[in-house]
Amino acid sequence: MRLATSPNPGAPPVITVDPQPTVAATNTTATLTVTATGSSLTYQWRKNGVSLPNGGHVSGATTSTLSISSFSAEDVGIYSVAVFNPAGSSISKNASVRISKYSITDGLVGNWKLDETTGTVAANSVAGGQVGVVNGTASWVAGQIANAFSFDGASYLFVTNYPKATKGIAASGWVNVTAGTATDVVVIQNAQPTLTISGGAGRIIGQFQMGLVLDANDQTLKPMAAVGIGPNVARTIGTATFPSGWHHLAFSADGAQIRLYVDGQQVSSSDYLADINPPDIAYLSIGAALNLTDTADPLSPLIPDPNAPNQMNGPLDDLGLWTRALAANEITGIYNAGLQHQSLTTVIVPQPAVQPEIGDPTVTGGNINITWTNGGTLFSAPSANGPWVTTGDSDGSFSEPTTGTAKYYQVVR
């Protein structure tokens, strides 16, 4: 007697391209895709860990491409997809999906252009934004974009307060660290003195950091960024040495990943899943890690941390801070603008072409009613092959008497 054997199910799915962070304007369509290998694949998209059904403005929830039309604030979240076949399953990385206003100044809470030539105050170009006050010797020099502030290893800038991030955060600046610097460097941070887990409760004092860290193996500086999330720190460090001369440093954290960029290119990232901590401290320090004179007294004066001041030596230019994540093309745009000696506020964020969406026709009172969104002009024809003629109506709605014969409609923008 021969025993029946089950067919070999083959290999489980392998995700080769994860969904990427996505932005969309309100009332447009957001699309997420995944690429996977394997046989007999099935898919299930999830939002904030909950499986999405098809229906309404959501389609493709069980395919490799998810589409969310009429995108709104209710659709903002962290998305992932599970891929299945008879041999097993694989779950993608998380990807944030957010509303975008396609404006570089959206969420910009600080832009210290550092274009001053004298004085001890660095203006904030954002309306109502807090200035940076020089502690130590003020030194204004030629920068990547007009002027810059030059740190001497003993001076720093202090910003009393700033609007705090919750869901996303980003920072950007042009950095020119003095060659031979052999210590960690703070570019900008809300931390006291650094983002570390301390104490039995795992308390983290602060919200974010962007700077350079000294690699003990080769004694070179590597780019670094970190955000505080609950009792943890999400940190990412680049593997390549931060180059000498003027170079652009930026990071962005969107609730799913913190990503680090040098000269407009992503150099490292780290996954996390949480909101950003509301900080215990209000201030920003630029060019130094600060600590209390008396750590037991929250009202004692702030000074550069005596154990690790992480003070910058060299100039800094066009520093920006956002209470939202930046898309990769926005960071590239800031870098390219700086190459042309233009500030980040000159960046025009490209908005994708929005295609008109036509709704299902309805009939009321002997009239056929057509509605559509995203602009465009309505055309009609007696057959799918035409001839197409304009209705002369382009305001998003059209109504005409029914005739009892077939008629076709399309919107062209």
Query: Do 40 and 172 belong to one domain?
Result: no
Give the pLDDT of residue 325: 98
Query: Do 114 and 225 belong to one domain?
Result: yes
CATH of the domain at 200: 2.60.120.200
CATH of the domain at 62: 2.60.40.10
Give the pLDDT of residue 161: 97
Name the CA radius of gyration of the chain, rounded. Answer: 27
Query: Do 34 and 164 belong to one domain?
Result: no
Q: Averaging pLDDT over each range in 136-140, 361-365, 408-412, which range is the top one?
A: 136-140
Judge whether 78 lies within some domain: yes
Query: Do 369 and 297 belong to one domain?
Result: no
Q: Which residue has the tokens 């002369």?
A: 392
Q: How far apart are CA 58 and CA 37, in angstroms?
A: 25
Is 70 exceeded by the pLDDT of residue 393?
no
Is 80 exceeded by the pLDDT of residue 4?
no
Judge whether 8 lies within some domain: no
pTM (two decimals): 0.86
* Domain boundary, last residue among 346, 379, 398: 346
Query: Do 341 and 361 belong to one domain?
Result: no
Query: Do 91 and 240 belong to one domain?
Result: no
Q: What backbone phi and psi angles, to 5 degrees, belong to 345? A: -70, -10
More confident residue, 300 or 394: 300
Q: Which residue has the tokens 């290119």?
A: 265
Is 90 exceeded by the pLDDT of residue 389?
no
Query: Do 94 and 192 belong to one domain?
Result: no
Judge whether 203 lies within some domain: yes
Q: How far apart are CA 196 and CA 148, in angstroms?
A: 30
Domain of residue 299: give its range: 108-346
Query: Do 189 and 322 belong to one domain?
Result: yes
**Number of domains the chain contains:** 3
pLDDT single digits (tens) 338-378: 999 999 999 999 988 766 777 778 888 888 888 877 777 88
Q: How far apart are CA 47 and CA 69, in angstroms?
A: 15
Q: Which residues of 129-141 are buried (b: 16+ CB within 10 A; e: fewer)?
A: bbebebbbebebe
Judge whether 295 lies within some domain: yes
Q: How many CB atoms lie within 10 A of CB 224?
A: 23
pLDDT single digits (tens) 237-273: 999 999 999 999 999 999 999 999 999 999 999 999 9
Judge whether 163 lies within some domain: yes
Asked if 192 contacts 292 with a C-beta cutoff of 8 angstroms, the reply is yes
Judge whether 9 lies within some domain: no
Specify the pairing of strand 247-253 against strand 232-237: unpaired
Cα 300 from chain centre: 36
Query: Do 155 and 302 belong to one domain?
Result: yes
Give the pLDDT of residue 400: 87
Query: Do 161 and 117 belong to one domain?
Result: yes
Angle at 37 between CA 33 and CA 43, to 5 degrees: 50
- Residue 198 DSSP code: B
Query: Do 311 and 178 belong to one domain?
Result: yes
Angle at 164 between CA 160 and CA 167, to 5 degrees: 160
* Residue 286 identity (one-letter amino acid): I
Q: How far apart are CA 130 and CA 95, in angstroms?
A: 33
* Domain boundary, last residue among 308, 326, 346: 346
Q: How far apart are CA 114 and CA 267, in angstroms?
A: 26
* Domain boundary, last residue among 54, 76, 99: 99
- Residue 264 DSSP code: T
Query: Do 235 and 380 belong to one domain?
Result: no
